[in-house]
Amino acid sequence: MTPLLDRNQPYAIGLFRIVTGLLFASHGAASLFGVLGGAHGGGTVPAGAWPGWYAAVIQLVGGVLVLVGLGTRAAAFVASGSMAYAYFSVHQPDALWPLQNGGETSALFCWAFLLLVFTGPGALAVDGLFASRTAAGRSRDERSPEAVTA
């Protein structure tokens, strides 16, 4: 059973990345454009309002980047930091525990994105396409006669 799980680990990480990115981007789209019920039950965040508008931009852009797997580690790092900021500046002053202060979503997103910083994008990521093309190009260059004589 373990070899089967190990062999499919990149796909599980990839699906985790896709779902997490989609959910995060949905929060940003709701806040910026009023879709999916809007920000906090309706409406949008005013453009340039600190910190809500900037958080929504990070959510939308970071979520899409993580969703497609482009610059995953960097996008996840920024997203994780923004959620840590949200937790400690917005939620934690109200109470210590996330269940008491309404910060479960911020805490979960923070740790989910931090996990992606360390695991990478997994399978089904645009990053993987670039990596495989670069590796294929390097292999081709190493086999070419010009590489041998240079």
- DSSP secondary structure letters along 53-109: HHHHHHHHHHHHHHHHTSSHHHHHHHHHHHHHHHIIIIITTT-SSHHHHT-HHHHHH
Q: Which residue bears the tokens 């797997």?
A: 69
Average pLDDT taken over every residue of the chain: 89
Residue 64 CB contacts under 8 Å (≥ 6 apart), including other chains? 21, 25
Q: What is the pLDDT of residue 141?
A: 56
pTM metric for this prediction: 0.84
Residue 114 CB contacts under 8 Å (≥ 6 apart), including other chains? 76, 77, 80
Q: What is the pLDDT of residue 147?
A: 46
Q: Which residue bears the tokens 């002053």?
A: 93
Our measurement of the distance from residue 125's CA atom to the centroid of its chain's CA atoms, rounded to an integer in Å, reads 12
CA atoms lying within 13 Å on the CB side of residue 75: 24
The answer on pLDDT for 138 being more than 90 is no
Confidence of residue 118 (pLDDT cuts 50, 70, 90): very high
Average confidence (pLDDT) over 65-88: 97
